[in-house]
């Protein structure tokens, strides 16, 4: 059924792996899937192509889009090359509000499945995620656990091994000594108090 889906969770909860398994399932049934990803996360490039890559090793080539790209136009351009029955978007939190509205428009024609983070390292909604909450026909949380055993809900950012609560919203892991750890809010709050 043609709907806009938002599947969200913290880092490491298998969002990308879930997207790639879902893509495989659609393709196994003969559907053509247009896989999209924001250029903001360009860590995985191979032969000048952006790759959607999961932590467990699944991967697929995709079409990368920039902040100023119109996703309806990209879809219509790709339709000239081949018929697509499904759209999937990885790292959808990096899409703009306008791009999410374009995905909603596209969901009137084909199913659109978006996978991404809900909140940033400051525990605030990403622009794309906020608009998805407002427009998605179906929301689904992909859960993960904190090291204490509670449900993880925070993407804590560390710079040089220290908790970081200020700075640019986007900082790619493994660049400039940036790392992330998912944790429950209680553990995050305790760690903030120690800083």
Query: Are residue 132 and residue 181 in the same domain, yes or no?
Result: no
Q: Which two tokens stand for residue 10?
A: 């913290």
The residues annotated with a catalytic role in the active site are: 91
User: Packing angle between helix 71-81 and helix 97-106, nearest 10 degrees?
Assistant: 40
Q: Compute the distance between CA of residue 18 and CA of residue 2 in angstroms, rounded to an integer.
A: 19
Structural domain of 45:
4-141
pLDDT digits (tens, 9 = 90+) for 134-164: 999 999 999 999 999 999 999 999 988 889 8
Q: Please indicate, yes or no, if residue 109 is contained in any of the structural domains.
A: yes
In a domain, 9, yes or no: yes
Are 84 and 159 found together in one domain? no
Residue carrying structure tokens 């393709």: 27
The predicted structure's pLDDT at residue 41: 66
Dihedrals phi, psi of 105, to nearest 5 degrees: -60, -45
What's the total number of domains in the chain? Answer: 2
Whether residues 16 and 98 share a domain: the answer is: yes
Mean pLDDT, to the nearest integer, of 31-35? Answer: 95
Residues 41 and 99 in one domain: yes
Mean pLDDT of 98-105: 98
Show which of 100, 119, 141 is a domain's final residue. 141
On the question of pLDDT at 193 being above 80, the answer is: yes
Is residue 149 a part of any domain in this protein? no
CB 167 within 8 A of CB 194: no
């Amino acid at each position: 059924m043609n709907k806009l889906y938002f599947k969200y969770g913290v880092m490491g909860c298998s969002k990308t792996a879930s997207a790639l398994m879902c893509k495989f399932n659609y393709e196994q049934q003969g559907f053509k899937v247009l896989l999209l990803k924001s250029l903001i996360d360009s860590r995985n490039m191979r032969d000048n192509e952006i790759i959607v890559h999961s932590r467990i090793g699944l991967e697929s080539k995709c079409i990368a889009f920039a902040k100023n790209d119109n996703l309806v136009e990209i879809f219509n351009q790709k339709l000239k090359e081949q018929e697509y029955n499904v759209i999937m978007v990885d790292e959808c939190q990096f899409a703009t509000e306008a791009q999410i509205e374009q995905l909603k428009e596209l969901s009137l024609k084909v199913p659109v499945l978006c996978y991404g983070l809900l909140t940033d390292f400051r525990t605030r909604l990403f622009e794309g995620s906020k608009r998805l909450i407002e427009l998605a026909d179906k929301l689904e949380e992909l859960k993960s656990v904190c090291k204490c055993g509670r449900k993880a809900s925070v993407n804590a950012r560390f710079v040089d091994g220290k908790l970081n609560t200020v700075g640019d919203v986007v900082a790619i892991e493994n660049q400039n000594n940036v790392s992330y750890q998912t944790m429950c809010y209680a553990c995050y709050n305790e760690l903030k108090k120690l800083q």
